[in-house]
Amino acid sequence: MTFDLTPEQDQLRDAVRALGRRYGHSYFVEKARAGEHTTELWAEAGRLGYLGVNIPTEYGGGGGGITELAIVCEELAATGCPLLLLVVSPAIAATVLSRHGTEEQRKRHLPGLADGSQKIVFAITEPEAGSNFHRLGTVARRDGDGWLLNGRKCYISGVDEAGHVLVVARTEDSSTGKLKPALFLVPTDAAGLTRSKLDMEIVSPENQFLLYLDDVRVPADALLGESLDAGLPALFAGLNPERITVAAMGAGTGRYAIERASEYTATRKVWGGRSIGSHQGVSHPLAHAAVQVELARLMIQKAATLYDAGRDLEAGVSGNMAKYAAGEAAALAVDTAVQVLGGAGMTTEYGVATLLGAVRAGRIAPVSREMILNFVAQHVLGQQKSY
Ligand SMILES: Cc1cc2nc3c(=O)[nH]c(=O)nc-3n(C[C@H](O)[C@H](O)[C@H](O)COP(=O)(O)OP(=O)(O)OC[C@H]3O[C@@H](n4cnc5c(N)ncnc54)[C@H](O)[C@@H]3O)c2cc1C
């Protein structure tokens, strides 16, 4: 057992942190307030190879795994730049394409994802189905040699920044007549695909959208993979990377908040010569949050290691636990940071309250804490499913 990163992973962590620090949380907030995207940071991260660390080298990536991508997510978040689209484009879309795309799809899409010039976002959530993806209502029907897609999706992140959206739809399997899931690479400018921006209470340069698919016609090669049978495994292939990287983002955000707060409480003096951090009513909540973040980081490391070793089932358990732990730890860390900063905690300048919405959302998305507890109750504790 080792808890050390490899020298290459160490270098990656330091380099990503240095990049994030050059931009910082004020850049992230300014972009969000201006309704703009973190285009410069994304482009630079792409040029430096950080967005493609987990993409095979033959498609322009770094040939690493989810461990490396989690490092990128955590370190950028630890500098105050939690980029949600890292979870969607390199983690979900690139993994799904690498593992289940056709050779032609991999060649067409992966190099652009690796250098950051392209983004592919992911659309599964629907207003009626919510957490229950078995109820998906978006349907793909064969239309000549292509497909016709109809349905509605909600909370889809980054559609305005992406060239394609990976849409999860139901198809009819001609051999059984049953509806089974399939993934489609739909250009974001496809005829019949429209969107409306959702107003979210999250300070973020990345936006969520309602998507409407009205007779969206796509060619046969928009279907991800060689056949309809690729759908279900492809869908599951994206889950572990999604949970692990979103957890890493949460852990990084927690570290960022604790660092901001610790700097402040170590120097702020309101009772004579002692810093407020010398009072245990201030330092213990911060120390408690630091313990929770560190525990989450351990579970993230375990989940990423298992995933990269091809142990998908075990990575599923650890990835869900890591996501749960990091979601709770990040929310605790940011809330605690706001509290110990006092009034300063609520200012934009000190850069912690700006994260409240994001960490709150991290307990709901991409999978809610309750659905993770359901997973653990059933698959780890052997309890009966209630729904
Ligand atoms: C910021 C943000 C970004 C997002 N980005 C994307 C994206 O890019 N692509 C995408 O497809 N989706 C995205 N989502 C959607 C996200 O994945 C869903 O919000 C999430 O899966 C929960 O679904 P829901 O909102 O429909 O909640 P619901 O399913 O309606 O659940 C509501 C509440 O009930 C609880 N609940 C439901 N069923 C059970 C049960 N059986 N047992 C116990 N509790 C239960 C849930 O835990 C939750 O607390 C995003 C959401 C947010 C907030």
Which pTM was predicted? 0.97
Please state, in angstroms and rounded to a whole number, the distance separating the CA atoms of residues 211 and 233: 24
- % pLDDT > 70, the chain: 99
131 lines ligand 1 (CB under 6 A): yes
365 lines ligand 1 (CB under 6 A): yes
Residue 177: what pLDDT? Answer: 64
Residue of the nearest CA to atom 44 in ligand 1?
Answer: 370
Q: What distance lies between CA 136 and its chain's CA centroid?
A: 21
Contacts for 262-266: CB closer than 8 Å, 24+ residues apart: 262/286, 264/340, 264/341, 264/344, 264/350, 265/340, 265/341
- The predicted-structure confidence for 192-248, as pLDDT tens digits, reads as follows 999 999 999 999 999 999 999 999 999 999 999 999 899 999 998 999 999 999 999
Please state, in angstroms and rounded to a whole number, the distance separating the CA atoms of residues 276 and 359: 25
Tokens of 377: 């109750």
- The predicted-structure confidence for 101-128, as pLDDT tens digits, reads as follows 999 999 999 999 999 999 999 999 999 9
- Quick one: which atom of ligand 1 is closest to the CA of 374? 42
Query: Looking at the DSSP assignment, which residues form a beta bridge with residue 186?
Result: 165
Tokens of 37: 């995207």
| Region 68-84 average pLDDT | 98
130 lines ligand 1 (CB under 6 A): yes
374 lines ligand 1 (CB under 6 A): yes
- The predicted-structure confidence for 247-263, as pLDDT tens digits, reads as follows 999 999 999 999 999 99
- Nearest alpha-carbon partner for 88 in 25, 166, 12, 163: 166
| Region 128-137 average pLDDT | 90
Q: What distance lies between CA 111 and its chain's CA centroid?
A: 20
Residue 173: what pLDDT? Answer: 67
Helix (H) or strand (E) holding 140: strand 139-143
Is the pLDDT at 13 greater than 70? The verdict is yes
- Quick one: which atom of ligand 1 is closest to the CA of 125? 11
69 lines ligand 1 (CB under 6 A): no
- % pLDDT > 90, the chain: 93
Residue of the nearest CA to atom 26 in ligand 1?
Answer: 130
